[in-house]
Amino acid sequence: MSGVRVNTRNRMNRWWRGASGSYVVMIAMGAFTQSAIATERVDFARDVQPIFAQHCVECHGPEKQASALRMDRRTNLLRGGDSAEPAIVPGDAGASYLLTRLRDPNPEKRMPYRRPPLAEDEIAIIERWISEGADWPGAEHEEDANVGASHWSLQPIQPLEPPTPSRPEWVRNAIDAFILAKLDEVGLEPSPEADRVTLIRRLCFDLHGLLPSDDLYQRYLNDRREDWYERLVEELLASPRYGERWAQHWLDVVRYGETSGFEVNTPRENAWPYRDYVIRAFNEDTPYDRFILEQLAGDAVGVHEATGLLVAAPANLPGQIGQDLASMLGARQDELAEIVTTIGAAYMGLTLHCARCHNHKFDPITLKDYYSLQAIFAGVYYDDRQIPDARDPVRLRELLTQYDHTAAQLQSLGAREPVNGRLNVESFTPRQVRFVRFTAERTNSGLEPCIDELEIWSVATGDAQSRNVALASAGAKATASGTMPNSDIHRLEHINDGMYGNGRSWISNELGRGWVQIELAEPTVIDRIIWGRDRDGVYGDRLALTYRIEVADDDGVWHTVADSQLRLPQDASAREAWLADAPADRREQIAQLTQRMEALTHELLQVVPPRRVFAGTFREPGPWHRLYRGDPMQKREEVQPDIPEIFGTLGLSSDTPEQQRRVALARWLGRKDNPLTARVMINRIWQHHFGTGFVDTPGDFGRMGTQPSHPELLDWLAYTFMERGWSIKNMHRLIVTSSTYRQAAVPHTRGLAVDSQSRLLWRYPARRLEAEPIRDSILQASGVLNLTMGGPGFNAFKPNDNYVRIYEPREDFGPGEWRRMIYMHRVRMEKDGVFDDFDRPDAGQVCTQRVRSTTALQALNLLNSTFMMQQSRLFAERLQREMGEDVERQITRAFQLLYGRSPEREELDAGMELVRSHGLVAFCRAIFSTSEFLMIP
Amino acid sequence: MDSMASKQPTVIGQRLMDRRSFLGSSIMGLGGIALTQLLATQGLLGATSKGPLRPSIDPARPHAARKPHFAPRARNIIMLFCSGAISHLDTFDYKPELIKRDGQPMPGADKLVTFQGENGNLQMSPWKFRPRGRSGKMTSDLLPYLGELVDEMCFIHSMTSKTNTHGPGENFLSTGFTLDGFPSIGAWVTYALGSENQSLPAFVAIPDPRGVPQASVNNWGPGFLPAVFQGTAFNATKPIRNLASPVPGNVDRATRDYIQMLNRRHAERYPGDTELAARIASYELAARMQLSVPEVTAIDNEPAHILQMYGADSTDKLKAGFARNCILARRLVERGVRFVQLFNGAYAMGEGVGNWDAHRILKDQYEVHGPILDQPAAALLRDLKQRGLLEETLLVFCTEFGRMPTFQKGASGRDHNPEGFTVWLAGAGVKRGFSYGATDPFGYKAVENVVTMHDFHATILHLLGLDHERLTYYNNGIERRLTDVHGHVIRDILA
C-alpha cells in the first residue's frame, strides 16, 4: 500500500507517463477525413476540445455542472457526474459513459440534452481519442479542487510548537498557549479561575455525570496542597463512574440500541455486552487504535462483544421485509449502509453515506469507493453470535458454591448425579497443573465419544478472577488420541474454542473411546473442570459414561482428579434399580440430592447458556459490485474491498477472508499517518469537555463540515494523542488541567459582544446537563442510586410481548430501576416518559452531537411524573433522616447536595415558607427543577 | 455576530459558522437567520441552487408563529392517516376492467411475488361502486358518508411509495425517509412556522383509540431536530403524559413560584444566557398547558347534534372513540394548533385486526374498519367546512401504500402494493371535486401523472407557504430536507 496520504497527484502522473508517447502532428489543416483520423492520433486541443466547447461545456463546465459533471477538466470526466459512471475510461471506449449518452437512442437521455445529436464523425473522434488513451495536455496541472483532495482534514498531522504566550503566568500547558493566542487576536482576555466548588462540580459532571459526594467535597474543599486539583482529576479518572459517563458519548455516535427498530422494534436481548465493553474500554483506557481494532474485528483478537459496533444500528427483521427480490436486496443494502455510515461518522469524520447513490458531491469519495468500503463489511450480518467465555461471574460463583456443596453431600453418601449430556462440573482440591487429559472409556451409544467444550477453571487469586485457562485464546494447546476425519463441525480445535454445541465439538476416531488433552500456557492452579457433549441439548448420543480426568504438572506425573466411578446410571430404570439396591436409610436422601443436582445443573445452564451476543455473524461474501445509483438490482463492475482511493489502497482482493478485511481497515485507521482518526477523536473529546468541538460538525470533517476554530491546537492535540499511545485518559488530563478549562463560566458584556458562544473560550461554556446525568444525579441526591454495573439493562417500559412491541412507560420504580441510565434497556425511538425528552437521541440515526432544547414537556416531566414524585419523597426522607425536623438545616443540606453551596437569605426564607405551607416534599420537587442543578457550571 | 465568522475561508464554512454564531442567541441549535438572502444568492449546496431559508427562532418562545417563505394557502393542517394501508381498490379507485376480469390472472403478472408472497387472480371489490356528488365520482359503498363529500375532495390516484413494508412505509410517509430517525413532517412544519396558539402544543398527534400505529412515535418524532418540535401525543381519552399535577393547585403554584424565583436569581448571574430564559418560559408554558389541554379535550362540551354528526354517540366503542378524536382535531385547529396528525388504525392488535392491513379476509376485516372511519371522518370534513375552517385548513387523507388488485394465493385478502394508490386532500388551496393521476386498468401501478411521496410532501409544504428545497436543517454532513433531494410541487391540483 502506498501510505495513507492523499496521492491523487501521483496516480495522475502515472496515467500521464503512460500516455506521453509521441503523437503525429497532423498536417491537414482543413476538414480531415475519416481515413486521416484512422491513421493519425487525435489531438485533444485541436480535435476534441472544440467539440466539448461547442456542445457540452455550457451545461457541464465551470459555470454550471448539470448532474455534477464538468467537461472542461479531465479529472472530472474520469470521475463521472452524479451517476458515478466514468464519462471516459482511457483506452476503453466501450466503458466510457460519455459515448453511451451521446448515442443514446432515447432522445430524453441523449446528450446534448434536448438538442440535435452530435454528428457521428464528431462522436467517432471522441471515441478514437478515448481509445488512444484520452490524452489531455495540461491536465496534469489541473487543480483537483472538485474532489477536495487539498481539504485541510486530509493533510498529514504535523508536529508543531505551541505559540509563545503573551501571559506566561496563565499558561498551565500547551493548550493554554494556543487558546491565548486566539484570544489575543480578538483582544479578549481569559476569565479568572472558577471557585473551587464550581471546579469540583464541573469535573464531577463532566467526568462522572454525577454530583460530587460529601466525601469528595470534604477532602478537596479543604485540601491545601498545590496539586489538589490534579489529585481530584486522577481520582475521578480512576473511578468506574468515569467509563459509565464517557461510554454514553460513544454509544450516541454508533446509535447503540437494544431493539431492532422499525415497526416491530423487537428487543435485542443480547446487545448489552457491547455497552459493557465500551464502558470497560473507557475505564481501562484501552488505547484508541486498539479500541478501533476491537470494534471492527474483535472476533480476531478475542474481544468478541466489541463487534457490537458493526450491528449497533436498526435493521429490519427478516419477517418484516418484502419477499420479492428487490425488497430483500434493498433491505440488505440498508443494513450495510448503516455500517458504512457508522464507520464514517465514528472514526473518519466523513459522510461516506453520501456516496451511496452518486459520487460524493463535496468530498473525494466516489460511488466506487463507497462499494469498496462496503465490501469490507459485506460479510457482516445483524444477528446474535455465540461467543466464547463471557459469563456473569457473580451468579456463576453463587451457583457453583451451591452445586459443590450439594455434590459433596451426595458423594458422602457414596453417589454422584448421573452424567449429564449438556453440562458436568468436576470440582476437586486446587492443584497446580500443566496438562489435563480427559479419557473416555465407554459411551452411551457405543459410538465415538463427543465433547463440545472442555473447560479448565483456574482458582481466583488476588486480582485475578477465576477463568477458563483451557481456551486456545488463553494460549492452551489441544491434542487427542484421534479426531474423526473430514468434518467441518467436529474438529480438535473446537474442544477449546469457547464455543458450544454439536456444531463446534470434538469427536474421537475410535468407537466408544478416545482421549483429548489440553496443555496450558503455563502451570496454573485449577480446581474445576466443566465439560459437556452438547451444551445446546440437541444431541444426546456419543456421551462418555465411563471416563477419567487426569492432570499433570511440568514433572509429567499424572494424577486422576475425577472419574465416573460414583456416577449413578444415566438410564432411568437402571437408576431405579440401583437405588433399590442402596441402603434404605440413604435411598431417599440420594434421590433428593440427585434431583437437587439436576435442578442446579439446569440453573447453571440458564446462567451460562451458550453465550450469545448481538455482535454480528460473519460469512464470506463472494464477489462485490458497484451499484448503479445505489440500486441493488443494477450491478456494475466488481470492486475489491478497500478504503477510498484518495487514501491509497489496502491491497486486498475478493479472495481476502472477510475478517482480514476488517482487520486491515482497523489497522489503517489506527496508523499514525492517517490524517483523520486522531483529529476526529480529539475533536470529540474536546466537544464533551467544552460543549462544542473545534469542528462543530463532529461527524463531518469534509468540505461540508466547518473549519476548526483552533486548527493548530486540534493538530497539536491529535499529534500528542498518537505520540502518547492513543490514551484517552491522557487527553482528559491534559485538557481538564489546563487554565482554559479552569476558567469561570460567568459571562461579561465584552466577551459576549465579540464571541457570544465562547468558541474562543474566554470563559468556560456552561450548559444544561444531558438526560443521563440529570437522572443519575437525582437518584444520587435522593440517596437511592444503585451502582450495580453491567449486565442486562433495567426496563423503562411496561412488559409487553406483542409481536409489534408496545412501549408504554412504566410508572412503578424500585432499586432495580435506580441504576445509572446507561443501563436502561435502550429501546429505539420510544421515550421513557421522563428523561428522554431532554434531547436524548432516539438511536435511529447516527448522533455525533446532541441538540439541546428547552421544552414545556421537560418541565411537566420533572414536575409531575411518578418517577419524580417518588424521588422528591425519597429526597425529603433523606433530608429528614440526616437533619431531623429543623427546616433550615434541611434546606441548607439540599442546597449543599445539589448546588454545593448554602442558600442565601431570600432563598432560605422562601424555601422555609414553602416547606411550612406545603411540606418538605414540595420543596424537594421544586429544587430538582432548577437551572442551577440542571447545569454543568 | 461573533468575530469568528469573518475568519472562515470558505463559503460553506462561513454559512455553517453563521448558523453556529446564531447559537449565540439561541440555545437550541436552531438555524441562523439574516444571511438567508446572502445564501440564496450564493447558490450553495448541490441539488438546489437556492440556499436554505432558516426560521428565526426565539428560544424562549420556540412555538411563536413565524412567517412562511411565501404567502400560504393553508395555515393549519390535519393529516388523517389510515394505518395499515387502506385499499384504494375498495374505496376510491374505480376500475371497471377489474370487475370485468374478476377471477382472471392479471396480465403480465404471472406468479408475481409481493410482500407476503405469491399472488392469485384479479379480484373485484366486494363493495359496489356508484356515482356520487355533482361530479359523479365513482366511490364504493364501503365509505358512503365520505362518498357524499367527493365534491370537496381532490384525489390523487397515482400515489407511489418505495417500500412495501409497513414500518419503513410509515416512516416514508411521515418523515420522507424509509429509515428510522428522521424528523416527521409535523416537526418540520412546526420548526418552520411555529404555532398560532401559545398555550397548546404546536403539533399534536392523535393516536387511534386502539393504540399507536406501526412506526409509533416515528410518525411524530423530532428526528435530529430539537425536541421542542416533536409532536405531543394525546387523544380524546388519553391525556398528555405528566400533564396533570399530582398535588393540589395551591401547592403546585407555590412550588412553581419557588422554582421561578430560584431560576430568575440564577439567570441573573449569567446575563445573556438564553437557555436560562427559555427554562423560565418553559415552566410558564407548562402551566398554561395544564389549563388549555383539559379544555380542548373536553369533547362532552360539544352540543349533542355535533356529537351525533360525528358518531360520537355510537354504540360501537371504537367508532365513538375515533369520532371523539375527530372532534378533538377540529377543536385543535380551531384554536390555532398548526399541525394535527389524526390516526385511524393501530398495530397493537395485530395484522388487519386493528387496522387496514387486510391480508386474509378483506371483506370481514373492512366491514369492521369502514364504519369506524367513515362517518366521523366525513363529519370532520363537513364540520370544518360549515365553520369556515376549511378556508385555512388543509385536510389530508393518506396511507402508507395501497393494496394489490389480486387476492393473495390461498387467501381472500390483498397484499401490499406501493406501485399505485390513492390519497386525497380537501380544503385550503386545492381543487375541489378533482381527480389527478391514474393507475393502470386494474389499479396495480400508477401510470398517469405518477406522484412520489416527495411530490406529495413538496405539495403540502407548498400549500403551507414553504419551499421544500429551502426548508433545511444541517445534520451529519447533509443539509437535510423533508423531501431528501427530490420532489416537485403538483401544480395541477392547486386551486
As a whole number of angstroms, the distance between CA A124 and CA A719 comes to 54
User: A186–B3: do the CB atoms touch at under 8 Å?
Assistant: yes
Q: What is the pLDDT of residue A621?
A: 92
Q: What is the mean pLDDT of residues B4-8?
A: 30
Whether residues B225 and B360 share a domain: the answer is: yes
Same domain, B373 and B435: yes
In a domain, A585, yes or no: yes
**Pair A359, A492 in one domain:** no
Choose the final residue of a domain: A590, A610, A630: A610
Q: Is the pLDDT of residue A14 over 70?
A: no
The reported pLDDT for the residue numbered A141 is: 66
Distance CA A373, CA A661 (A): 10
Assess whether A418 and A361 both reside in one domain.
Answer: no
Look over chain A and give the mean of its residue pLDDT values, rounded to a whole number: 89
- Let me know whether A380 and A412 are in one domain: no
pLDDT tens digits, one per residue of B261-286: 999 999 999 987 878 888 998 999 99
Amino acid identity, residue B140? S
pLDDT at A250: 98
Query: Which DSSP string corresponds to A116-157?
Result: PPPPHHHHHHHHHHHHTT---TTGGG---GGGTTT-GGGSPP
| Residues in chain B closer than 8 A to A264 (CB atoms) | 167
The answer to whether residues B226 and B304 belong to one domain is: yes
Q: Is residue B121 part of a domain?
A: yes
> Residue A851: its pLDDT value, please?
80
pLDDT at A693 (0 to 100): 95
Could you tell me the pLDDT band of residue A578, with boundaries at 50, 70 and 90? Answer: confident
Q: How far is A731 from chain B (nearest CA, A)?
A: 25
Instruction: Report how far residue A352's alpha carbon sits from residue A627's, in angstroms, rounded to the nearest whole number.
Output: 15
B338: left (phi over 0), alpha (psi -120 to 50) or beta: alpha
Strands annotated E in A869-924: none
> Which among B12, B20, B272 has CB closest to A696?
B20
- Considering the domain architecture, whether residues A333 and A447 belong to the same structural domain is answered as no
Domain assignment present for residue B430? The answer is: yes
Domain check: are A571 and A623 in the same one? no
Q: Specify the higher pLDDT residue, A611 or B494.
A: B494
| Cβ of residue A35 closer than 8 Å to a chain B Cβ | no
Clarify whether residues B273 and B392 are in a common domain: no
Chain B residue closest in CA terms to A359: B46
Domain of residue B264 covers 249-291
Amino acid (1-letter code) at residue A373: L
Q: Are A461 and A525 in contact (CB under 8 A)?
A: yes
- The CA distances from residue B98 to A456, A805, B104, B404, B443, in Å, are 71, 37, 9, 11, 8
Length of chain A: 937
For residues B96-120, give the mean pLDDT: 90
Pair B228, B334 in one domain = yes
Q: Is residue A113 part of a domain?
A: yes
Q: Chain A partners of B291 at a C-beta cutoff of 8 Å?
A: none
Q: B381 and B311, same structural domain?
A: yes
pLDDT > 90 fraction of chain B, expressed in percent and rounded: 70
Determine the average pLDDT of the residues in A703-732: 95
Give the pLDDT of residue A501.
81
End position of a domain, from candidates A574, A594, A610: A610
Alpha-carbon distances of B121 from B411, B413, B442, rounded to whole Å: 11, 11, 11
Instruction: Identify the pLDDT of residue B210.
Output: 86
Task: Decide if B277 contacts B60 (C-beta within 8 A).
Answer: yes
Q: For residue A734, is it within any domain?
A: no
| B215 domain residue, yes or no | yes
> Best of A931, A932, A933, A936 to disrupt the B interface by mutation (most B CBs within 10 Å)?
A931
Local confidence band at B349 (pLDDT 50, 70, 90 cut-offs): low
Residue B180: closest CA among chain A residues belongs to which residue?
A844
Q: Looking at the structure, do residues A429 and A529 belong to the same domain, yes or no? A: yes
Q: What is the pLDDT of residue A30?
A: 37
Q: If you search the block for the grid coordinates 464538468, which residue do you land on?
A: A70
Checking if the pLDDT of A609 tops 70, the result is no
Does residue B189 sit in the same domain as residue B160?
yes
Confidence of residue A801 (pLDDT cuts 50, 70, 90): confident
Question: How many CA atoms lie less than 13 Å away from A204 in the CB half-sphere?
Answer: 25
Which of A179, A768, A804 to mutate against chain B (most B CBs within 10 Å)? Answer: A804
Pick the residue of B2, B10, B173, B180 with the most A CBs within 10 A to test the interface with A by mutation: B180
Return the pLDDT at B53: 83
B101 lies in a domain? Answer: yes
In a domain, A243, yes or no: no
Contact status, residue B211 vs residue B81, Cβ threshold 8 Å:
no
Looking at residue B205, its pLDDT comes to 94
Specify whether B282 is located in the same domain as B317: no
Predicted TM-score of the model (pTM): 0.75
Characterize the bridge pairing of strands B446-448 and B339-344. Answer: unpaired
Question: In which residue are the cell numbers 378556508 written?
Answer: B391
Q: Which residue in A has a C-alpha nearest to residue B232's C-alpha?
A: A857
Number of domains in chain B: 2
Tell me, yes or no, whether B199 and B307 share the same domain: yes
The rounded Cα A307 to chain-centroid distance in angstroms is 7
CA distances from B109 to A322, B103, B112, B442, B443 (A): 17, 14, 5, 11, 13
Give domain status of residue A583, yes or no: yes
Residue A427 burial class via C-beta count within 10 angstroms: exposed 0-12, middle 13-18, buried 19 and up: middle
Residue A663, pLDDT above cutoff 60: yes
Q: What angle do CA B383, B386, B387 make, to 5 degrees?
A: 85
% of chain A at pLDDT higher than 90? 63
- Is B405 inside a domain boundary? yes
A484 and A560 in a single domain? The answer is: yes
Check pLDDT > 90 for residue A36. Answer: no
Q: What is the pLDDT of residue A12?
A: 35
**pLDDT tens digits, residue range A868-879?**
999 999 999 999
- Whether residue B209 sits in one domain with residue B173: yes
Q: CA dihedral defined by A253, A257, A260, A264, rounded to 10 degrees?
A: -120
Q: How far, in Å, CA of A77 to CA of A862, rounded?
A: 59
Same domain for A427 and A526, yes or no, is: yes
Cα distance from A739 to chain B (closest Cα, Å)?
21
Question: B265 and B193, same structural domain?
Answer: no
Picking from A139, A162, A180, the residue at the C-terminal end of a domain is: A139
- For the residues A602-619, what does the mean pLDDT come to? 81
**ipTM of the predicted assembly exceeds 0.85:** no
| Residues A827-849 as b or e (16 or more Cβ within 10 Å = b) | bbbbbbbbbbbbbbbbbbbbbbb
Please say if the pLDDT value at position A29 is more than 60: no
Whether A438 and A413 share a structural domain: yes
Predicted confidence band of residue B22 (pLDDT cuts 50, 70, 90): very low
- Of the listed ranges A270-279, B37-46, B197-206, B357-366, the one predicted with least confidence: B37-46
pLDDT for residue B12: 34
Q: Report the pLDDT value the prediction gives residue B127, as an integer from 0 to 100.
A: 97
Q: Measured between alpha carbons, how far apart are the two ends of chain A, in Å?
A: 49
pLDDT in tens, A455-472: 999 998 877 777 889 988
**Into how many domains does chain A fold?**
4
| A chain contacts of residue B117, beta-carbon cutoff 8 Å | 323
Per-position b or e across A357-375, b if 16+ CB within 10 A of its CB: bbbbbbbbbbbbbbbbbbb
Mean pLDDT over the full length of chain B: 87
Q: Between A and B, how many residue pairs show a Cβ–Cβ distance under 8 A?
A: 305
DSSP, res B468: T
Give the cell for residue A156.
498529514
Q: Is the pLDDT of residue A236 over 90?
A: yes
Q: Is the pLDDT of residue A33 over 70?
A: no
pLDDT value for A471: 87
What is the distance between the alpha carbons of residues A524 and A923, in angstroms, rounded to a whole number? 60
Domain span holding position A409 = 393-610
| Tens-digit pLDDT profile for residues B436-472 | 999 999 999 999 999 999 999 999 999 999 999 999 9
Taking residues B313-326, report their average pLDDT: 95
Q: How far is B480 from chain A (nearest CA, A)?
A: 12
Task: Give dist(CA A301, CA A473) in Å, integer.
Answer: 9
Q: Is A760 in Cβ contact with B226 (below 8 Å)?
A: no
Tell whether B491 is covered by a domain.
Answer: no
Q: Note the pLDDT tens digit of each residue in A812-826.
A: 899 999 999 999 999
What is the total residue count of chain B? Answer: 495
Same domain, A325 and A368: yes
Contacts of B267 in chain A (CB under 8 A): 931
Q: Is pLDDT above 80 for B25?
A: no
| Residue A351 domain-assigned (yes or no) | yes
CATH of the domain at B105: 3.40.720.10
Q: Are residues A667 and A594 in the same domain?
A: no
First to last CA, chain B: 43
Same domain, B261 and B136: no
In a shared domain, residues A503 and A583: yes
Amino acid at B163: T
Least Cα distance to B338 among B123, B118, B183, B189 occurs for B189
